[in-house]
Amino acid sequence: MNRRRFLKLCASSLLAAGCNQPWNMLALSAAFRKIPVVLYHRIGYTAGQLTITPERFDNDMRLLRDYGYNSISLEKFQNYLLNKTGELPENPLLITFDDGYLDNYEYAYPLLRRYGMVGAFFVITGLLWEQDRLKPEHISEMAQAGMSFGSHTVTHRQLGKLASADIQEELNSSRSTMESILGKPVQTLAYPQGSYSADTIKVAKENGYLGAFTTTYGTCSRSAEYFELRRIPVFNYDGNIISVLNKHAY
């Protein structure tokens, strides 16, 4: 059954049950409202399919603005989707970045600000002091300007292949480091290399995380599995961001 038919059946069921009040229909609409979450890695001039040039990223942000998309913070996304509180703007979009490369600060951050956008950055904390990575002072500055941050573990190992104790160490240590920099709770995770298992989810829940992002194509809604949140990865061989969204925002 396709999504449209499913929504029609849900609406028909509510109407048949006498649930035709505006707030009931709004609740149904909110439950299935799709939020695209795009995923970038590097913004710069290094080789590799995960690297988007600053010129391409500039064009992506301009197109998102011109097509009426409104970027939201990780906190707003979390409150709406996971806590079921707050409102979202028209055409909401979450822009995420994995790994915490320095070029995110050098190129992505100023371009996001130029177009009135915000981003959510998932940082590998064990690499914070490496030459080509974000430093704590960059994270603090970006957070003060409205950017959001989440956990991407300490070592970037595939969580789906680790023992429970190792998963716990990766999640707790990375979160502790990020919280010491930000001065506020970190409750969202992005799975390194998209790898996770039922045990990963169990450990994340037990240790206070509210949700986690995968690298599986798709969009998010309140009906989603909160520890299997989908994103839309962007590669250097893709067309512009609108074509990527049109292809994968289902």
pTM for the predicted model, two decimal places: 0.88
Q: Would you state the pLDDT for residue 105?
A: 99
- Mind spelling out the 3-state secondary structure of the chain? CCHHHHHHHHHHHHHHCCCCCHHHHHHHHHHCCCECEEEECEECCCCCCCEECHHHHHHHHHHHHHCCCEECCHHHHHHHHCCCCCCCCCCEEEEEEEECEHHHHHHHHHHHHHCCCCCEEEECHHHCCCCCECCHHHHHHHHHCCCEEEECCCCCCCHHHCCHHHHHHHHHHHHHHHHHHHCCCCCEEECHHHCCCHHHHHHHHHCCCCEEECCCCCCECCCCCCCCECCEECCCCCCCHHHHHHHHCC
Q: Would you state the pLDDT for residue 31?
A: 59
Q: Tell me the domain boundaries of the chain.
A: 1-32, 34-248
Q: Would you state the pLDDT for residue 250?
A: 73
Q: Would you state the pLDDT for residue 160?
A: 98
Q: Would you state the pLDDT for residue 152?
A: 99
Q: Would you state the pLDDT for residue 89?
A: 95
Query: Which class would CATH give 34-248?
Result: alpha beta
Q: Would you state the pLDDT for residue 84?
A: 85
Q: Would you state the pLDDT for residue 33?
A: 84
Q: Would you state the pLDDT for residue 177?
A: 98
Q: Would you state the pLDDT for residue 142?
A: 99
Tens-level pLDDT at each residue, the chain (250 residues): 444 444 444 444 444 444 455 444 344 455 568 999 999 999 999 999 999 999 999 999 999 999 999 999 999 999 999 888 888 999 999 999 999 999 999 999 999 999 999 999 999 999 998 999 999 999 999 999 999 999 999 999 999 999 999 999 999 999 999 999 999 999 999 999 999 999 999 999 999 999 999 999 999 999 999 999 999 999 999 999 999 999 998 7
Q: Would you state the pLDDT for residue 102?
A: 98
